[in-house]
A and B are shown apart, each in its own frame.
Chain A
Amino acid sequence: MKKIKKLTIILIIVLLCLVSFIGIYIKNHALMKNIIKDYDFGMNIEGYREVRLSVATSEDEEQEITSEKVETTKKFIEKRLKQLGSEDYLIKVNYTTGEIVLEIEENDRTDRVVSDIYSGGVLKMVDSKDHSKVLITNDDIKNVSLKYSTTEQGTGVYLSLDFTKEGSKKLEDLTTNEYRTIEKEENDENAENAENTTENTDEEDAEEDAQPKVTLMIDDTEILSSSFDNPIKNGSIQLSLNQASTDMGKIQEAVNMGIAIATTLNNGPLPLEYEIDSTTYIYSEITKEVATIFIIAMAIIILIALVILVVKYKVPALLAGISYIGFIALYLIALRYTNVTITLEGVAGILIVLIVNYLLLQKLLTKTTIAAAFREMAIQSVPVIVVIVVFSFISWTNIASFGMTMFWGLLLTVIYHFIVTNALLKK
């Protein structure tokens, strides 16, 4: 009975290996397609977008490039990348020409991130009719954040601008006096004379023209124009970014726009104005051939290690070895479906998991009970657990990859060996 059970487990392991190392192919149109999810590789394995930014030139005025200004720009770009959730990049700077070369991970957000990182971030609130009349600038803004409100109509996304003490005074002054919405006394009369609609329209147009408004501009792009119904005394205004909606796509679009604006404004304007010279996708130097050589080398090392184990512990080690290969197969499937971004640091994490598993196998073969082997291994693996806990919460892709590959590896190690290896090694 036990023999049948062991044979069944071995058969399952073989199947698992076939699925993991080869895949499941089905006919898709004229092609055979592997239905097993692909790995999500980081930019140092797959490839990256290279963005070349140069200091903008114009005939009117030349920007003075200093190494301090370039360094500040670099720091701003790094901050923006962090806030936009893009944490896998390499930045190279020429402090003389101001040229910045950014290598950034390629995904569906890359275009938006690229367009947001180099925007000037100059905020101005100007008079709608006379744009040279600047009323509020970046210096008056303390913080920009994203807010949401959910009603029956759906979710609305707002940009909340919190002003500094000085800015709050300016805002209060503007909204109380010049740019306060003019009370429409005539409206009542107009309501009474509703039949005179044509005349009313002309009057409304005239009123509209007479109403002073402020225009919010970011990098010389008009965002909105408005007057104020009530004075704003709390030093904070909310700008609607969408109409309340239940459409997740539209909400997400508004959120992305809001994050981009907030990120740009919170970091203040870039000291230098930049323009994109080129943006190109570049494949990693790690070609398929290099990856294949690495995989073959790893397979050989694992086989040698397992042979050593078999020579030392005979038949039980053979079963443990089969189980070990099954573990690798299952682990690789888990990494595909848990959406872990695998970077080179992640590969190092995978290797650590394989080392820990090999040590555990040795203990399973030498200790009398599985509990004793696990207990000993648990004490020895405390450093790995600490690393997992700390690294998994870091947003920098390479570090998170190292933590996450080990997290899933260790979790699977406990479950898999407790069920599979234990059953195979039971006498």
Chain B
Amino acid sequence: MEQIKEPKKILFYIVIALIIIAGIVMVAIKGFNVELRYTANKKVELAIGETVDISKIQEKADEVFGKGKSIVQYVEVYKDTVQVTAKDITEEQKNSLVEKVNELYPQEDTNDTSEEEQAEDEQTEPAKLLDASTITIQGTENARLRDFLKPYVIPVAIVTVVILVYYAILYRKLGVVRVLVRAILIIVLSQIVLLSILAIIRFPMGRFTTPLILLVYLTSLIYTSGSFMYKH
């Protein structure tokens, strides 16, 4: 493994320090940008009655809630019902969304038809037009961060301890304390840098966070292993 030359090394440390400082500032001011699914949110279910294009509904949801502030997901297998989730949904926003979706999927309104036609329609097919008054806003509490991090704590702790012991034994000629300090520093720093970057770029924390943490964790271990091997 090639060693970083001295001036480049200094520049590298400066960049790392700047990233961490910026990350800390961002977390202190705005906190992490937690994914909607993991925060307290509200949702409405729209049973449209025909296969819908989810991207079109997302466009309409973006118009109502703002870009990137809502998620639209298919509900059940027929793909004719969607669920729109946002941090908060007011009655006005719900009505506006329903109106926009109705414009997108114009369907027969049975209100204007004659009684006979209505009776006929009832026998054949129910009215499909979305009626905002029948759509309820459901609230969901947030998921606790510690709940979805808890399963990872023990395995990661076991792996880290085993690997540190392995490094200490295999590279003892480099100095046990030095090896351990360097390994721990690389593992911890890489995680802090990752979290700082995620905070700075306002990356949504949630499903992608643990895979990213694991990816960086293991990559840092492979790097540490390689760097010790090179020095050894």
Contact = CB atoms under 8 A, between A and B. Distances in A.
A144 B75 CA distance: 38
Interface in A371-427: 376, 379-384, 386-387, 390-391, 394, 396, 398-399, 402
Given A91-B143, A281-B77, A348-B211, A387 B159 contact: yes
Contacts of A90: 37-38, 143, 147-148
A359 B140 CA distance: 45
A287 B207 contact: no
Nearest to B81: A280
B69 to A, nearest CB: 14
Given A379-B229, A399-B151, A282 B75 contact: yes
B155 A347 contact: no
Interface in B53-91: 54-55, 71, 73-77, 83
B219 A398 contact: no
Contact residues on B (Cβ < 8 Å of other chain), bracket: 35 or more
Interface in B208-226: 208, 210-212, 214-215, 218-219, 221-222, 224-226
B162 interface: yes
A90 B212 CA distance: 19
A289 B219 CA distance: 28
B219 A394 contact: no
B11 interface: no
A352 B73 contact: no
A92 B170 CA distance: 45
Given A92-B140, A287-B54, A399-B155, A383 B74 contact: no
B141 interface: yes
B107 interface: no
Given A92-B141, A92-B143, A348 B74 contact: no
Contacts of B74: 282-283
Contacts of B45: 280
Interface string A168-188: 000000000000000000000
A9 interface: no
B166 interface: yes
B222 A283 contact: no
Given A93-B141, A281-B75, A283-B74, A386 B219 contact: no
Contacts, number: 110
A90 B36 CA distance: 13
Interface in B154-169: 155, 158-159, 162-163, 166
Given A280-B75, A379-B225, A382-B163, A355 B219 contact: yes
B51 interface: no
Contacts of B12: none
A94 interface: yes
B13 interface: no
A256 to B, nearest CB: 25
A396 B155 CA distance: 11
B60 to A, nearest CB: 16
Contact of A386 (B55, B77, B163): B163
B93 interface: no
B140 A399 contact: no
Given A285-B71, A391-B155, A355 B222 contact: yes
A356 interface: yes
A344 interface: yes
A90 B143 CA distance: 7
B81 to A, nearest CB: 9
A215 interface: no
A379 B170 CA distance: 10
14 contacts: A44-B207, A92-B143, A94-B141, A95-B141, A101-B141, A280-B76, A344-B207, A348-B211, A352-B219, A383-B163, A383-B224, A384-B222, A387-B218, A398-B210
